[in-house]
Structure 1
Amino acid sequence: MKPTLEDVVQPGMVVSGYRVEKRLGAGGFGKVFLAWRDGSPCALKFIHLEGVGEWGWRELFIMLRHQFPNVVKLLSHFKWPEDKPEYLVLVMEYVPGVTLYQWARDNNPCARELVEKLLPLARALKEVHAKQVLHRDLKGDNVLVRKTDGVPVLVDFGAGSMPGAPRVTGALAPANLRYRSPEAVAFFLREDRKRGEIYDYAVTDELYALGVILYVLATDVYPFDGPDDELMGEILEGNPKPPHARNSRVPQALSELCLRLLAREPRARVQTAEALCKALEELLEVAKADPRWEVSLCYGWTVDGRTTEDAPELVGKDPQAWLRRWIRQKPKRGRPPAPPAPVAEPPAPPEPPTASTVPTLPTRVRRAAPVLVAVTVVGLVVGVGFFLGQLRTTPPASTPPLAPGQPVLTLPLPKEFFLGDPTPWGTQVHEVAPPWKPPEADTGATPPRADTPAPVTTVTLSSGTTRMKKKAPGSQAEKEKKGNGSTGANVLLAVAAAANMACPGAQVRKEPAPQACPAGAVETMTRQLGLRLGERHSAAMPGAPKYASPERVPVRDGPVSLELAGAWAAGVDAMGRGGRVVLPDGTRLSGQLCIGEKRVYGRITQAVTPTGDTFTVCMELYDQIGDRGLEIEPDGGVIKVFPRVDVKTVERFE
């Protein structure tokens, strides 16, 4: 098996004069390591040239020409290894610290501190925009708060743009859907959009994204959230709940500035970063005379402190509605206080045993008899209960029929959009539903076994429509939102258990054992299709954005279906010429995923073309760097992987 980058780049080794200390993490399209040279630290960002090199060259093009205040600095760059380069390595300034959202969770800032953090960021954007540079992926996770001085630093210009920068395909730059402006969503949904037309990203788009960051910092929730179709509809409608209405500790003036940044019409929005700097400076002057600006925005960790400001009561409430509301409440912020250390008392010296204190054998048997009887009774009860549970049949869940007038999905899911960010309120205290599922379509913090899942909400976009339709009143989906008492009670019990018990560690899994290919698979690939063993082609994981994006997608053990990216031709020469198409674009590749300790492995056994032709195949999943399997990126208990993969023809599963 080809070694991974982590196998090659080991702590202590020297890469072009830089001594590697440890891995820091994975960036948008590369892996980052902490390294040292001449006694100074730096961050080495390895970008695979063949797989995602175009994004690295784009970032290098921007960073070489400019240096901005409060923006991570480019120190150098080189190709590595020197004899046969596989990676573009960007040598960046090392910024020790945490993301902006993590800083808020750790410190529970007041409104004044929040403005003091945003002002340097706005000043940095002012300088960036003055050079006609746009970041285009502004979010809380791309802002680091430096540990040494608390200054925010903007990082990752892989999706940035400026005049003359290398062109990367895609109608929209990769970004999280929650940070998209209404005009960007409207462009994507426009029915008369021409093929190859590119959205003209502007400063007002960037300031809208900054407004989303401000909203999250002030309330600990996004202004708009939910499933993709409903989320786009809410963004287009553009009527977020005011921050001070969601959290009464947010000063009214700060709330109004946030709403100006999130205005639906670009003309009503704050127009420039310079104007935003001026507005933030004025708020700091107001804060000096108002003590309310010094109050922490969220509850801290105290013995009697409540998690939310308006904790709902269960009496007389719909349990499932209560659960959906509870999930969206902000958690406590700040670090929990350390438990008081118990006062250690010196142990009493043991007394020497005597004949009267040492129990005899009959005495020990007599004392153990009640315990043995209790264990036997409990074992019998558990065994009988298990046997009866096996006899009870569970009716299969059926998909409820559509009610008359219920909307039907006619627009394909916008794969350019993704929800890859860690949910800002997803702390270790509360286990919440994954952000790509609506609360009513999943049990959130409940165990995997559920009663009856609710149907997924669907929408219809008619010609000229810019607002998403909601669930039809009286529809089956609307009825199931109300739920029943037993289901809601079970969900709430599970939530309470998850909130009050420590979560166990993740189960350690091993790589799948070697296995023979399906009968006839190798002959089908090599003789019937004409593919060579070891040949590779790109594919998209389920839920992958339509255009190139670094955001990971969630996966789980079990069956999987991928889509071939582009036509797979057999007999192509080394220059990519000739050949005949044997698996057309859009071919579905089906198989199984197995989640290992550090990587996700996939075995593909069937290929179905768009016309219905079916072939038995034997392929394995590889990342675009060339390593078998996909690197795991955990996200709040959810296992995620890179959305673009390679499938490789093999004669035996490793």
Structure 2
Amino acid sequence: MRPPPAILSPGAEVLGYTVERQLGQGGFGTVYLARNAGQRFALKLLHLPRVGERVEREVSILLKLRHPNVVGLQGYGLWPPGAPRFAVIVMEYVDGRRLDVWADEENPTARQVARVALDVARALAASHAAGVLHRDVKEANVMVRASDGMAKLVDFGIGDYEGARGLTVDILPPGTPEYRAPEAWRYFRQHARSPGARYSAGPSDDLWALGLVLYALLTARKPFDGTDDASFIEDVMTRDPTPPHTENARVPLALSDVCMRLLEKTPETRTLSALAAVTELEQVLAGADTAWDVPLCDAFGEDTATTVGGRDSLDRWMRAPQYRPRRGKRAPPPAAEAEVTAPGTTVKSVPKPRRRSRAWAMVALALMLIAAGATLLLWTSRVAGVDPARQEVAASGESPQADRAAAPTGPEATAAAVALPATLQEDSATVTTPPKDTQPLQLPSKPAKTGMSTMARAVSTAAACTALACPGPQVRPAPPPEPCPVGAVKAMEKRGVDIGDKQPALFAKGDARIISIGEGPVEVHLLGSWKGLPGGSVLSGRSIVRDRVFARLTWATTAEGDSFPVCFDVHAEEGPRGMAREAGDDSPDRARIWTTAYVKAVTEFE
């Protein structure tokens, strides 16, 4: 079959709309920004042989919904004319940011979070009143408009409505497993071996997902964090999450209570309806005071990361410091800062900070000596893929909940040991299996860099910084975690790609070289055959520019025209996740990188 188009070139015409750029890509199609008569629209192209009746379902749902907090339908049709291969859904273009990106960059207050949650609740109330279920409420499906901060619920592609015919034969309907309600998992456990059993989602499933979204907005953490599928499902069904106001003291108690009612374990005890959630959120906002206008997380800065517990010994401090999560804009480095870069590491010399105790000076001395040794070790072992030491604080996804969660035991734990089920049927696809005697492909390597003088400068800078007891470098953190596309892990397993496998790839065809890359859609070309993935396959997704350049690849297209969802992280040739930024472009949304990389199969984007 022909795949959804990986990229339509700017200027392409689709049913009278002029394509400007790609906005995103999913399991069934691609979304583009396009113009018509001077106005901007979002064009969603769905591959007809793959989506079947699902396009009619989505259009029918959007026709039922007219609400300010729901993305609006502008039109639909088939393309190209005469021999259509794609359904085209024309939607209102929301100029803004995804909810998770908005939260990470904006560091919102409790008042802002409550208003966004209220917008989503209003969208769900209107949908449920029309007999429509979204079934995939999550941060990635909420857009926050830049002009006024209004939130809009988008992507009803796996939604449902009263009287609609079932489109799948799975025991659970399509959806993102991490956002499934406890009752769905209970049904799955009880009927996993019952032929023909089908769970019927209801409004309470959407409300549970809204509770998860609200919890993450308030705490920058997930309420459930099982180490594997079985423990995660067990937690969702049996463990009460730590209340948001306990997890984060800046969360108002009233808003925390609203969130906890959405996360009750049964539909009967949960918030009764989306309309009831709207009422509750309106009431708590009406009683909000000035405490609601304080950012919920610490901002990024030298003096803003606070620790939990004392730092009464070097051993305790180095073992497991606990940090409040941080959000917001990353401050640029101080003007007086001198930066020296050796391969894979950055050492910065900054002005002397405020007076520190003698003990902290000794700590800084020990750390800088360790860092200097690690720098030398990294330089001599970069080919072996040693991961450089990072000065980053604990990831925002980590939570004290992990220490409080007890592993399930007894018969219930055994019954819960079931892998997350596939939520969408995979289409059959013809792939070419490489011969068994295929030799491992050697990745084109970068030209050797002249590094001894750089290394000498780095060590001397480290020594100078040791004398001043300098703090560690401020690092822009990696992007927040994100689930894989629905069906991606199953599709990779079907083609023999094991989780953790790596394969060389190129950001641009041709000899290894430095290119400029920005945030947004990206394509990576696979080098050589990789089990069930033929050589030359194109992996597409999006790039994220931070202190390193990250690429999350979610779609594969083979030269034969087969296409399917995947979940690949990009790793630098040296080993670490993401690509190192090369000198020449320090802008926040563009970077220079080498074209040579490895792609790694993962179960989620960390």
TM-score range, shorter chain: 0.5 to 0.7
Partner amino acid, structure 2, of 1:563:
K
User: Residue 59 of structure 2 contacts residue 89 of structure 2 at CA under 8 Å; is this kept in 1?
Assistant: yes
List per-residue Cα deviations over 1:88-116 (Å, max 9, x = no partner).
Answer: 11111100000122222222222122212
Contact 2:141 2:154 in 1 (8 A): yes
Q: Distance in 2 between matches of 1:167 and 1:602?
A: 40
Which whole-Å CA distance do the structure 2 matches of 1:339 and 1:192 have between them?
Answer: 55
Structure 2 CA distance, aligned partners of 1:272 and 1:255? 18
User: In the alignment, is the contact (CA less than 8 A) between 2:131 and 2:162 conserved in 1?
Assistant: yes
**3-state SS in 2 of match to 1:190:** helix
SS of corresponding position for 1:32:
strand
Where 2:320 maps in the other structure, the secondary structure is helix
Secondary structure of 2:215 counterpart: helix
1:604·1:620 contact (CA, 8 Å) conserved in 2? Answer: yes
- Pairing partner for 1:313 from 300, 311, 326: 311
Cα separation, 1, equivalents of 2:303 and 2:92: 43
- Alignment map for 1:182-331 (pairs within 5 Å): 182-190=182-190, 193-227=193-227, 228-287=229-288, 290-306=289-305, 308=306, 310=308, 313=311, 315=313, 322=320, 326=322, 329-331=323-325
For residue 328 of structure 2, the aligned residue among 324, 330, 334 is 334
What CA RMSD, in Å, does the superposition of the two structures yield over aligned residues?
Answer: 4.5
Q: Shift of the alpha carbon at 1:258? A: 1.1
CA distance in 2, matches of 1:254, 1:113: 12
- Measure how far apart 1:284 and its partner are: 1.3
Q: Please name the residue that 1:84 is paired with.
A: 83
CA deviation string 1:46-76 (max 9, x = no partner): 1111233443332122113332331011111
Q: 1 or 2 for the larger relative contact order (CA 8 Å, sep ≥6)?
A: 2
After TM superposition, list the pairs within 5 Å mapping 1:43-82 onto structure 2.
43-82=42-81
Q: Is the Cα–Cα contact under 8 Å of residues 261 and 269 in structure 1 kept in the other structure?
A: yes
| Aligned: 1:154 with 2:142 | no
Structure 1 residues 593, 164: CA separation in 2 closer, same or farther (over 3 Å shift)?
farther
3-state DSSP of counterpart to 2:75: strand
Question: Does the Cα contact within 8 Å between 2:54 and 2:157 map onto a contact in 1?
Answer: yes
Relative distance call for 1:135 and 1:302 in structure 2 (3 A) is same
Cα 1:54/1:310, change in 2 over 3 Å:
farther
1:178 equivalent in structure 2: 178
TM-score by length of 1: 0.57
Q: How far apart, in 2, do the equivalents of 1:148 and 1:641 lie?
A: 30
SS of the counterpart of 2:43? strand
- Between the aligned partners of 1:194 and 1:642, the Cα distance in structure 2 is 32
Where structure 1 has 5 or more consecutive residues not aligned to the other structure, the ranges are: 343-381, 391-427, 441-456, 470-496, 506-543, 556-560, 565-585, 607-618
Mapping for residues 230-629 of structure 1, pairs under 5 Å? 230-287=231-288, 290-306=289-305, 308=306, 310=308, 313=311, 315=313, 322=320, 326=322, 329-338=323-332, 432=395, 462=411, 500=473, 550=486, 552=488, 562-563=493-494, 593-597=503-507, 598-599=523-524, 601=526, 620-621=533-534, 628-629=537-538
In 1, the alpha carbon distance for the partners of 2:380 and 2:34 equals 56
The code of the aligned residue for 1:310 comes to V
Contact residue 6 and residue 540 of structure 2 kept, 8 A: no
Conserved 8 A contact 1:133-1:161: yes
Q: Distance in 1 between matches of 2:104 and 2:3?
A: 38
8 Å Cα contact 2:25/2:555 also seen in 1: no
Instruction: Tell me the equivalent position of 1:479.
Output: none
Which residue in 2 is equivalent to 1:39?
38
Partner residue in 1 for 2:114: 115
Residue 301 of structure 1 deviates from its aligned partner by: 3.6
Paired letter, 1:331? P
Cα distance, 1:140–1:464 mapped onto 2, change above 3 Å: closer
The residue aligned with 1:570 is none
CA distance in 1, matches of 2:132, 2:477: 46
1:476 paired residue number: none
Aligned partner of 1:419 in structure 2 is: none
Tell me the CA shift for residue 30 of structure 1: 1.8
Q: Tell me the distance in 1 between the aligned counterparts of 2:472 and 2:489.
A: 26
The verdict on how the C-alpha distance between 1:51 and 1:267 changes in structure 2, with shifts beyond 3 A counting, is same
Q: Deviations over 1:365-421 (max 9, x none)?
A: xxxxxxxxxxxxxxxxx89x969x99xxxxxxxxxxxxxxxxxxxxxxxxxxxxxxx
Match of 2:349?
A: none
The verdict on how the C-alpha distance between 1:174 and 1:32 changes in structure 2, with shifts beyond 3 A counting, is: same
Query: Any stretches of 5+ residues in structure 2 without a counterpart?
Result: 337-375, 385-390, 419-469, 508-522, 563-606
Residue in structure 1 matched with residue 464 of structure 2 by the alignment: none
Q: How far, CA to CA, are the matches of 2:78 and 2:163 in structure 1?
A: 22
**Any conservation in 2 of the 1:34–1:44 contact (CA below 8 Å)?**
yes
- CA deviation after TM superposition for structure 1 residue 119, in Å: 1.5
Task: Please state whether the residue corresponding to 1:60 is helix, strand or coil.
Answer: helix
Please state whether the residue corresponding to 1:145 is helix, strand or coil. strand
Identity between Structure 1 and Structure 2 (%) = 34
Cα distance, 1:156 vs structure 2: 0.3
Q: Deviations over 1:587-635 (max 9, x none)?
A: 99xx9843331235376687xxxxxxxxxxxx6449xxxx933324457
Tell which structure's C-alpha radius of gyration is larger. Answer: 1
* Pairwise CA distance, 1:270: 0.4
Return the alpha-carbon distance in structure 1 between the equivalents of residues 211 and 542 of structure 2: 28
On the 8 A contact 1:220/1:330 being kept in 2, the answer is no
Specify the alignment match of 1:630 in structure 2.
Answer: 539
Could you tell me which amino acid in structure 2 is paired with residue 594 of structure 1?
P
What residue number does 1:535 align with?
Answer: none
Output one character per residue of 1:555-584: Cα deviation in whole Å (capped at 9) or x when no partner.
Answer: 9xxxxx7426xxxxxxxxxxxxxxxxxxxx
Q: Could you tell me which residue of structure 1 aligns to residue 92 of structure 2?
A: 93
- Following superposition, the deviation at residue 210 of structure 1 comes to 0.7
Q: What letter is aligned with 2:220?
A: D
Look up the SS of the partner of 1:226 in the other structure: coil
Question: Aligned with 1:22: secondary structure?
Answer: strand
What CA distance in whole angstroms lies between the structure 2 residues aligned with 1:620 and 1:192?
Answer: 31
Matched residues in 1 for 2:189 and 2:45: separation? 35
CA–CA distance in structure 2, aligned partners of residues 182 and 214 of structure 1: 17
Report the secondary structure of 1:266's partner residue. Answer: coil
Q: Give the CA deviation at 1:10.
A: 1.1
Shift in Å at residue 17 of structure 1?
0.8
The alpha-carbon deviation at position 128 of structure 1 amounts to 0.6
The code of the aligned residue for 2:330 comes to P
User: Which residue type is aligned with residue 230 of structure 1?
Assistant: S
Change (3 A) 1:171 1:84: same
Any idea what the Cα deviations from partners look like across 1:179-208, whole Å, max 9, x if unmatched? 221111112222565223211111111111
Structure 1: how far apart are the matches of 2:226 and 2:543?
21
2:87 & 2:561 partners in 1: Cα distance?
Answer: 28
What is the rounded CA distance, in whole Å, between the counterparts of 1:644 and 1:202 in structure 2? 33
Aligned amino acid, residue 266 of structure 1? P
> Residue type of the partner of 1:270?
T
In 1, Cα distance between equivalents of 2:471 and 2:237: 35
1:10 paired residue number: 9
User: For residues 475-516 of structure 1, what are the alpha-carbon distances to aligned partners after superposition, in whole Å with 9 as ceiling and x for unaligned?
Assistant: xxxxxxxxxxxxxxxxxxxxxx998365899xxxxxxxxxxx
> Which whole-Å CA distance do the structure 1 matches of 2:140 and 2:471 have between them?
26
Q: Which amino acid aligns with 1:137?
A: D
Distance between the aligned counterparts of 1:551 and 1:219, measured in 2?
A: 29
Contact (CA 8 Å) 2:537, 2:556: kept in 1 or not? Answer: no
Structure 2 SS opposite 1:268:
coil
The verdict on how the C-alpha distance between 1:219 and 1:312 changes in structure 2, with shifts beyond 3 A counting, is farther
Distance 1:132 1:317, change over 3 A: farther
The separation in 2 between residues aligned to 1:604 and 1:255, in whole angstroms, is 51
TM-score of the superposed pair, with normalisation by structure 2 = 0.62
CA 19–283 in structure 1, closer or farther in 2 if over 3 Å, else same: same
- Decide whether the 8 Å contact of 2:98 with 2:143 is kept in 1: yes
